[in-house]
Amino acid sequence: MSDPTRFIPVPTPETAHFWEGARAGELRLQRCADCRKAYFPPRAFCPECGSREVRVERASGRARLYSYVINHLPAPGFTAPYAIAVVELEEGPRMMSNILDCPQTPEALVLDMPLEVTFERLSDEISLPQFRPAKGRAA
Amino acid sequence: MTPNSVAIVGAAETTELGRIPTLSQIGLHADAALNALADAGLTIQDVDGVATAGHNAVEVAHYLGIAPSWVDGTSVGGCSFMVHVRHAVAALEAGLCRTVLITHGESGRSKLGRYGPSIAPALFDQQFEQPYGVTAPPNRFTLPVLRKMKDDGLTEEQLAMVAVVQREWAAFHPRASFRDPITVEDVLNSRMIAWPFRLLMCCLVTDGGGALVLTTADRAKDFPTRPVYVRGVGEGAETPVVSQMKDFGSSAAFRTSGRLAFESAGIAHSDVDHLMIYDAFAHLPVYGLEDLGFVGRGEGGAFIAEGHTRPGGRLPLNTNGGGLSYMHSGMYGMYALQEGVRQMRGVSPAQVEGAKISLVHGVGGMFAASGTVVLSNEA
Ligand SMILES: [Zn+2]
């Protein structure tokens, strides 16, 4: 399913752990040992307090639909209309995502609905964290 | 800064606006610059400071034949020109230069001689947003709005009214791209771009440019036009990627920039006779009114829908028709400043009678940065 038209991210040293985790089917966050905040996107220090005492941890993968648009403009590797969303992870940080396994309509995409992480393989190196409606929970 | 220490003594847009197949990006910078210098009765020999955004500032200076002793290439999106005004005030007050030229040119529609696809590329964008099919401002700048609609009660009809009211203002301007009246139904029935945003809630894409000439207030009376004083300035920045904006219903960059502008100008909200809020999309005037403190959180949409910002309303807003109807090359901030200057000179086709203070507020990127300028026609 490697799609040559999709934009493939290129990891940097500071983000490599995130993309290695995604390839292994894990959503990884970093957490500050000093102020205890979890944060995203990845970097080698805490953006809340500046501490370098940070650890990589596996996120629960649970999130809620925070905001989105349903894009009707053409985009390489995508079939419009499709949702571009921001999800809020259970741990606090927010990240961009598409919403998979769900009709791309305002009726189906309800703000605050529970979501769970899944991974979309873009290449041998890169699997993209994506979210879909949580299974076994009321939408 | 000291209020009114610096004045805008030259201001102009490009000779044409809209579709300009005869000029590339740098040609638009130069056309606007020469027009603004002519407006001030100056030539390139008089300029010793150059600021621009979206283009190499040294290339702009060299192209014009200027070897400046002060240069500012701050490029933080469409509000960069408001930020340049702030930086120019500091430089002029400090005596770093005597005459500053701020230029903008952008071949947004014809795409002639453009730089790369992004004016402010960001590493986080390339790894954590672009893979999700964000391609352009219409599908990323709009991302926080659904959250604001749920949390703050903003409605699609209120967003549509932003476009309707600004079209009323555009009707006054012969140079506006779109001047025919529209209704809320027209807006809601226009082509879907990125739900809930329809075509008429999104800015134009046109070619054009503009430029400003600034100098110290003690020289301001030597020029042919009525001086427009810089009474206050502010700037702020938050995040290069909209997904990391802390509060989806309020811009931290707007709040910081607005607060600094009011504080430095020493004015109250009731002193503002005329307001410009950069409107790349219909939600921006709503965020602007709230974050600048003209209304409370969640009140911006209703304030516009009730008609307070339309012709005859108590707070005339975006009197050129804005990016939605007047023009939008990509970095619209310069055109908001131009309308602020016209209002303070008393020469806008949509003149607010007796206006003494104009506040011009800009956004850069997708809520990435902000710049605010308070203009006055009284020293
Ligand atoms: Zn910390």
pLDDT in tens, B65-106: 999 999 999 999 999 999 999 999 999 999 999 999 999 999
Tell me if B6-116+206-227 shares its fold with B130-204+232-376: yes
Whether residues A41 and B244 touch (CB distance < 8 A) is answered with yes
Are A18 and A11 spatial neighbours (Cβ–Cβ below 8 Å)?
yes
Check whether B52 has a pLDDT greater than 80. yes
B6-116+206-227, superfamily in CATH?
Thiolase/Chalcone synthase (3.40.47.10)
Domains for chain A: give ranges and CATH numbers: 16-133 (2.40.50.840)
A69 closest CB neighbour out of B127, B131, B143 = B143
Percent of the residues in chain B that have a pLDDT greater than 70, as a whole number: 98
Locus of tokens 């008429």 = B200
* Ligand 1 center–CA A52 separation, angstroms: 8
Domain boundaries B130-204+232-376, corresponding CATH code? 3.40.47.10
- Set of chain B residues whose Cβ sits within 8 Å of the Cβ of A70: 192, 194-195
Residues with Cβ–ion distance below 5 A, ligand 1: A 32, 34-35, 46, 48-49, 51
* Ligand 1 center–CA A31 separation, angstroms: 8
A104 touches chain B (CB under 8 A): no
Neighbours of B354 (CB within 10 A): 7
A82 touches chain B (CB under 8 A): yes
pLDDT tens-digit map of B254-270: 999 999 999 999 999 99
Are B372 and B258 spatial neighbours (Cβ–Cβ below 8 Å)?
yes
Distance to chain A for B121, nearest Cα, Å:
14
pLDDT tens-digit map of B324-347: 999 999 999 999 999 999 999 999
Boundaries of every domain in chain B: 6-116+206-227, 130-204+232-376
Q: Tell me how many degrees the CA angle B292-B297-B300 measures, rounded to the nearest 5.
A: 70
pLDDT tens-digit map of A4-15: 789 999 999 999
Rounded to the nearest 5°, which phi and psi values hold at A137?
Answer: -130, 145
Are B182 and B321 spatial neighbours (Cβ–Cβ below 8 Å)?
no
Mean pLDDT by 10 residues, chain A (139 residues): 79 96 98 97 96 98 98 96 98 98 98 98 96 77
Rounded to the nearest 5°, which phi and psi values hold at B85?
Answer: -60, -45
Distance of CA A69 to the CA centre of its chain: 16
Using 50, 70 and 90 to split pLDDT, how confident is the model at B115? Answer: confident
Single pTM value for the model: 0.96
